[in-house]
Amino acid sequence: MSTADILEHYPQSWYAATANGLTEPVRLEGAERADVCVIGAGFTGLSAALNLAERGMSVVVLEAERVGFGASGRNGGMIGSGQRKDVLELEAMFGLERSQQLWQLAELGKLEIRARVAQHGIPCDLQKGQLVGVHSKRYLGWANKLADALAERYNYPECHALDAEATRGMVATEDFVEGFYDAGAMTLHPLNYTLGLAAAARDAGVRIYEETRVSRYSRTDPVTVSTESGSVSASFVVLACNGYLGGLESRVAGTIMPINNFMIATEPLGEERAASLMGGRFGVHDTRFVVNYFRLTDDDRLLFGGGENYRRGFPKDIAAFVRPYMLKFFPQLHDVAIDYSWGGTLGITLKRLPHLGRLEPNLYFAQGYSGHGIPIANLAGKLLAEAIGGQAERFDMMASLPVTRFPGGTLLRYPGMVLGMLYYSLKDRL
Ligand SMILES: Cc1cc2nc3c(=O)[nH]c(=O)nc-3n(C[C@H](O)[C@H](O)[C@H](O)COP(=O)(O)OP(=O)(O)OC[C@H]3O[C@@H](n4cnc5c(N)ncnc54)[C@H](O)[C@@H]3O)c2cc1C
């Protein structure tokens, strides 16, 4: 099978065009036995599989499409510190002690990624640094308050607030009134990281079957996981499908809403023009409800993410959909061609807190990272392996976060949520 044939199964993203280590798919045929069957080969599933195999368990991963086909191979590559909600919000929700525990767990997610890249030599362009650009005067002072809180109460001195001028010194946009720089946050090439995790998992003995969609599983012990052409009998099952879960498990489908988010990659800008936009390879995102995010690539393109929709299906012309968001930040790029455009689906929860748990003593799940899945899905994989291995304390800490089902469950969650999302995204624009 040629590389072009393999690539046909991925969206036509810049990530797919620069992917390392693509392999031919192996499909599940017949019956297999494993200690753990993981459904879904994104960050959650692969991180769980690799950590489980390192604990001496036999693991099968079943992936409906290809490794990294889901959000893990399509995202902005921004590895933010902490949880999706910042520590000021978490302190208000849960108090200082629990907020500190959640911070430490999120740091473990970042550490897991750094350690995997180093241990397995994953070529995924891991870079340090992230700037949050404050888009509205309403939020003035937030950056200072957050940096102080992190230094004083979380022993994390890596952040500092920037005034408007200093922020503009880092990014040539008029959009930001203030900035928050986190030297300990990171960026990476998400598809290459995912492919690297899969390679490491295979080396550790994990059997990964692609183009193998799970249609159902039994509520028995052991569990029988069924696909069109085979089955796996497993002592434990890990559900790691997030925004791509569909109707596979109605008991958790109603706590997440799948939303689509979109990205573009410009043509190579040349070293000088790229450097005129940003003073480095750090990642940037803003404080809008529908977040805009961008960064430079090693071949001097601007990768830009912006715009969402809340229905099944992507806009016909994604480049035309995202381009105006980019031009709002960088009108100076009006003459630049867009070489790649793509979208992906992620799972958000009502409270923007992840949803981890057990549906049966032998059926685990993790989902709903709400746009913060690079650190937290990788953390979830590690904690899933700990819990299945008998050390559930840290998993249970994440699993105890409150989740609310979307009003109307899986069938009716859309109309109300869509209205809500449209309302807030309109507020962004006003
Ligand atoms: C455009 C975009 C930008 C984003 N930017 C960022 C960012 O910058 N930073 C950040 O932290 N997060 C970001 N996210 C979110 C992040 O990508 C996700 O939270 C994370 O990748 C979720 O990983 P996962 O493994 O849980 O799910 P996924 O990577 O979505 O993987 C789920 C897999 O399950 C498979 N699957 C589904 N059903 C079945 C079945 N029945 N049988 C077998 N397999 C099945 C799917 O094919 C898929 O491969 C972004 C998401 C998108 C879409």
Mean pLDDT of 276-287: 96
Span 183-212, average pLDDT: 98
Condensed to tens digits (0 to 9), the pLDDT of residues 48-57 reads: 999 999 999 9
Residue 363 Cβ inside 6 Å of ligand 1? The answer reads no
Cα 85 to ligand 1 centre (Å): 19
Residue of 27, 62, 63 best suited for mutating to test ligand 1, as the one with most atoms within 8 Å of CB: 63
Nearest ligand 1 atom to alpha carbon 44: 25
Confidence band of 428 (pLDDT split at 50, 70, 90): low
Which atom of ligand 1 has the smallest separation from the CA of 227?
42
Q: How far is CA 316 from CA 313, 319, 320, 341, in A?
A: 9, 9, 9, 11
Average pLDDT of the residues in 9-27: 95
Whether the pLDDT of residue 12 is over 80: the answer is yes
| Cα(346) to centroid(ligand 1), Å | 6
The CATH number given to 125-187+258-345 is 3.30.9.10
3-state secondary structure of 416: helix
248: left (phi over 0), alpha (psi -120 to 50) or beta: alpha
DSSP H/E element including 318? helix 318-329
Categorise residue 280: left if φ over 0, alpha if ψ from -120 to 50, beta otherwise. Answer: left
Give the whole-number percent of the chain exceeding pLDDT 70. 95
For the segment 369-382, the average pLDDT, to the nearest whole number, is 97
3-state secondary structure of 154: coil
Give the start-end residues of each E strand in 19-147.
Answer: 30-39, 59-62, 78-79, 127-134
Q: What is the pLDDT of residue 289?
A: 85
Query: What is the pLDDT confidence band of residue 37, given thresholds at 50, 70 and 90?
Result: very high
Ligand 1 centroid distance, CA of 238 (Å): 15
**361, 343 contact by CB (below 8 A):** no
Q: How far apart are CA 305 and CA 314, in angstroms?
A: 14
Give the pLDDT score at 8.
86
Model confidence over 305-342: pLDDT tens digits? 999 998 889 999 999 999 999 999 999 999 999 999 99
| pLDDT at 430 > cutoff 60 | no
**Residue pLDDT, tens place only, 133-142:** 999 999 999 9
- Of all protein residues, the one whose alpha carbon is nearest to atom 39 of ligand 1 is 64
List the structure tokens of 347.
């799972």
Does the structure show a pLDDT above 90 at 3?
Answer: no
- pLDDT of res. 414: 60
Mean pLDDT for all residues in the chain: 95
Strand partners, 239: 39, 365
In whole angstroms, how far apart are CA 407 and each of 125, 252, 418, 426? 41, 13, 12, 22
Two tokens, residue 315: 């806009």
Q: How far apart are CA 193 and CA 191, in angstroms?
A: 5
105 CB within 6 A, ligand 1: no
Residue 94 has pLDDT above 60, yes or no: yes
pLDDT above 70: residue 416? no
User: How much distance in Å is there from the Cα of 340 to the middle of ligand 1?
Assistant: 19
Residue 412 confidence (pLDDT) above 60: no
Instruction: Check pLDDT > 70 for residue 33.
Output: yes
Q: Whose CA is nearest to atom 9 of ligand 1?
A: 78
pLDDT at 62: 98
How high is the pLDDT of residue 223?
Answer: 98
Residue 345 has pLDDT above 90, yes or no: yes
Q: Which of 113, 217, 256, 374 to mutate to test the pocket of ligand 1 (most atoms within 8 A of CB)?
A: 374
Is 179 a residue whose pLDDT tops 80? yes
Residue 65 has pLDDT above 70, yes or no: yes
Has residue 422 got a pLDDT over 70? no
User: Which residues on neighbouring strands pair with residue 186, listed in sequence order?
Assistant: 79, 128
- pLDDT value at 302 more than 70: yes
The domain segmentation of the chain, as residue ranges, is 3-74+191-256+351-417, 125-187+258-345
> Ligand 1 within 6 A of 372 CB?
yes
Domain spanning 3-74+191-256+351-417: which CATH class is it, in words? alpha beta
Report the relative pairing of strands 302-309 and 257-266 from DSSP bridges. antiparallel
- Centre of ligand 1 to C-alpha 117, Å, is 19
Ligand 1 near 238 CB (within 6 A): no
> What is the predicted pLDDT for the residue at 411?
57
pTM over 0.85: yes
